[in-house]
Amino acid sequence: MSRPTPPKSSLLATLLDLPKNVWSSIFRNPLPSNDLERSATSFTNFFLHIHPVKVHKNSLRPAYTFGLGLISFFLFVILIVTGILLMFYYVPSTTQAYDRMLDLRGSVAFGTLLRNMHRWSAHGMVAVVFLHLCRVFLTGSYKKPREFNWVVGVILFLLTLFMSFTGYLLPWDQLAFWAITVGTAIAGYAPVIGKDIQFLLMGGTSVGQEALLRFYVLHVAVLPAILTLMIAIHFWRIRKDGGLSRPEDADPKIAIEPMEVAATKASVPEPKKLYGFQGLVRGPLTKVGQVPDNTVFSWPNLFLAELFTFVVTLSAILVLSLLFNAPLEEPVNALHPPNPAKAPWYFLGLQEMVSYSAFWGGIGVPGIFVLLLLGTPYLDRGPKGVGKWFSRDRLLANTIFITFVVANVIFVIIGTFFRGANWAFVTPW
Amino acid sequence: MAVNLKRSSGEDSDGGKTSRRKMLGWLTGAGLFGSAGLSAVSNFVFIKPRATYGQPQRFSVGKPEDYPSGTRAILASRGICIIREGSKLAAISTTCTHLGCTVGAADTGFACPCHGSRFDQDGNVTGGPAPRPLPWFQITLAPNGEIEVDKDIEIAPGSYLTL
C-alpha cells in the first residue's frame, strides 16, 4: 500500500525558512494592518498584553499626565540595568568600597558613565515620582475607585526615597557616612520601636561594616524586590480600576438605559432565549455602534507614545551623565563630619526640619504628612473634580496639598542655599 | 471519602457537624498563620546581631601630665574631650545628643556641623535642636597613674576628678 508522499522539502528550503519560522514562532502576528490584528498584537505579546487593546484618548493627552508615571518606571528600569552592572565591580566592605568607586572612575570601561547614569536616574526618579504624585493629587485621580492604587503609589514613593537613602551609603564617602549616622539616629527617635529599628539598621551601636552590609542588602535585594512587586500591583490596578482617570464629560452624554431597566428587559426574555442573560454585565447596557467611541487602539497610539517617552528619558539621562559627573566626596572620616554636612537635595527639607527638632522634624511632621497622604482618598470622598487639573470642586484639597508642597520646597531651598558652616543661617550672595 | 466530603455541605442546621468543621478550619488557620507569624519573628531574631563589633568603651588616655592646666583636648578617635583646669580633670562626650554627629570645638564651647546645635564649655545646650547636654563620662586614675575613661558610665556634669 502506498502512502501519498508529502511534497519533498529539501534541507535548503528548511534552512532558508528558518529565520521566518523562528520569528513567527515567537511573534504570532504579522505587523498589524487591520483592527483585529491590532487587538491580537496587543494581547498575544507578553509585554504588550499588560496594556489594554484600546485606550481612551484622554489618557494619551500629554498635558494630562505628562507621562510622569511612565518616566518613573523607565528610570527604574535604567536603575536596575545600571545597578546590576555596577554590582559586578562593587564590594560592600568599608576597606574596599571607596577604592572601588575610584576604580569605576579610573579603570573600568564605561564605569564613570554607568555610575553617573545610576546616580542621575536615582535623583530623577525621586523627583519624577514626586511630580507624578502631585499630578495624581491635583487631578483628583485618587478618588473612587482608585483609592487603593493611590495608597500603593504613596508606598512606592516612600520606597523610592528609601532606595535612594540606602544607595548613597554604598560609596562610603563622607556624605554616605554622616547621612546614615543622622538617618539612623532619626529612626531612633521613633516612639517605642525607634531604638530597635536603629539597632537593626546599623547591625550594632555605630555605623560601620555591619551597617554598610545591611544597607547593601536592602539596596540591591530587599527593596528592589518589594518595589517591583508594588509596581506590578500598581500597574495591574490601573487596568482593574478602569484605566487612567478622566473627567466625566470626556465621553459625550448619550441616552443609556439605566442598568435596572435594561437588566430587567434582558433577564425576562422570550422563552428559550437564554443568551439574554448575557446582558447581565456590570455597568449600563449599550448597543454596539451606539456609543461614540473615544478610544483608540493601543497599537500604535499608546505604544508609540511609550516608546517616545522611553527614548526621551534615556536620552536625557545619557546627556546628563555625559555632562555631569556624580559627586564623590572624601573617603569616610568617622572622626570629623564635613562642615556643613549636607544631605542630597531631596532630603535637605527634612534636614532643615530636624535642625529645629529631631522628633518633630524627623518623625512627627513627616509621619503626619505620610498619614495624611495615605488617608487622602478615604477622607476626601466627594465625587466631583476627577480628571481635571486644579478643578474648582477640589479647591480646598488642592490648596492644602499645595501648601504642604510649597512648605517643603521652601525648606529644601533654605537647607540648600541658606545654611553654611555649623548649619548657621547664611545668605548665598 | 468523597461521600464524607459531600455529607456536611448544606447541613448548616446540624450544629454538631458544622461546628466540628469550623473548629478544624480554625485550627488549620491558626496553625498556618501562627507558623507564618513565628517565621516572621524568627527572621527579626536572625537579623538582630547578638554580638556587635565596636570600640572598647573603657580605655586609657595617658597621664595627667599630658594635659597641662587649661587644656581642652578633643580625642576624635575616642569621641571625647579631655578638660583640665588646675588639678581638675573631666571627659565630655563629643557626640552630639541630637542626631549623633561629632561636634567640633568652637569659640564658646562646642558646635555641631550637621544641624547647628551649640554647647558651652561644659557641654550645656546653648542653641540649636540638641535635646540634652553633652554627657560627662566617669574618669578615674588607674594604679599605673594613667587616666581611665569609661564611656558606659555617665556622671553629673560638673563633677571633676581632682588630682
Put simply, the answer to whether B44 touches A200 (Cβ < 8 Å) is: yes
With beta carbons under 8 A apart, name residues in chain A contacting B47. Answer: 200, 203, 214
Q: Which of B49, B98, B113 sits opposite A337 (nearest CB)?
A: B113
Window A:184-203, CB contacts with B under 8 Å:
184-186, 196, 199-200, 203
B101-158: pLDDT as tens digits: 888 888 888 988 888 889 998 899 998 889 899 999 998 888 888 888 988 888 888 8
pLDDT of residue A280: 46
With beta carbons under 8 A apart, name residues in chain A contacting B129. Answer: 354-358, 361
DSSP letter assigned to residue A9: P
pLDDT of residue A113: 96
pTM over 0.90: no
Cis amide linkage into residue B49, ω under 30° from 0: no
pLDDT of residue A63: 92
pLDDT of residue A275: 47
Q: How many angstroms separate the CA atoms of B73 and B80, rounded?
A: 8
pLDDT of residue A281: 44
| Least Cα separation, residue A174 to chain B (angstroms) | 12
Put simply, the answer to whether B118 touches A339 (Cβ < 8 Å) is: no
Dihedral sign for Cα A411, A416, A417, A418, please. positive
Cis amide linkage into residue B56, ω under 30° from 0: no
Put simply, the answer to whether B77 touches A335 (Cβ < 8 Å) is: yes
pLDDT of residue A425: 86
| Least Cα separation, residue A339 to chain B (angstroms) | 5
**Residue contacts between A and B (CB atoms, under 8 Å):** 88
With beta carbons under 8 A apart, name residues in chain B contacting A422. Answer: 106, 111-113, 116, 118
pLDDT of residue A260: 59
| Least Cα separation, residue B129 to chain A (angstroms) | 5
Q: Which of B52, B53, B129 sits opposite A355 (nearest CB)?
A: B129
Reported ipTM: 0.79
Within 13 Å and on the Cβ side, how many CA atoms surround A102? Answer: 10
Put simply, the answer to whether A205 touches B48 (Cβ < 8 Å) is: no
Residue found by looking up cell 422570550 in the block: A270
Q: Which of A181, A182, A208 sits opposite B53 (nearest CB)?
A: A208
User: Which of B46, B57, B99, B132 is most worth mutating to test chain A (most A CB atoms within 10 A of its CB)?
Assistant: B99
Q: How many angstroms separate the CA atoms of A92 and A81, rounded?
A: 19
Q: How many angstroms separate the CA atoms of A120 and A123, rounded?
A: 5
Q: How many angstroms separate the CA atoms of B113 and A420, rounded?
A: 9
Contacts 24+ apart (CB under 8 A), A308-315: A309/A67, A309/A70, A309/A71, A309/A74, A310/A70, A310/A74, A313/A71, A313/A74, A313/A75, A313/A78, A314/A74, A314/A78
Q: How many angstroms separate the CA atoms of A83 and A122, rounded?
A: 10
CB B145 within 8 A of CB B59: no
**Which residue type does A339 have?**
N
With beta carbons under 8 A apart, name residues in chain B contacting A339. Answer: 104, 113
pLDDT along chain A (429 residues), means of 10: 62 92 88 89 88 91 94 97 96 94 93 96 96 95 94 97 92 89 88 90 88 95 97 95 86 61 53 48 49 82 95 97 92 83 85 88 91 94 88 91 93 90 83
CB B89 within 8 A of CB B75: no
Put simply, the answer to whether A200 touches B112 (Cβ < 8 Å) is: no
Res. B14 pLDDT band, cuts 50 70 90: low
Put simply, the answer to whether A337 touches B102 (Cβ < 8 Å) is: yes
| Least Cα separation, residue B101 to chain A (angstroms) | 7
With beta carbons under 8 A apart, name residues in chain A contacting B114. Answer: 178, 182, 337, 340-341, 351, 423
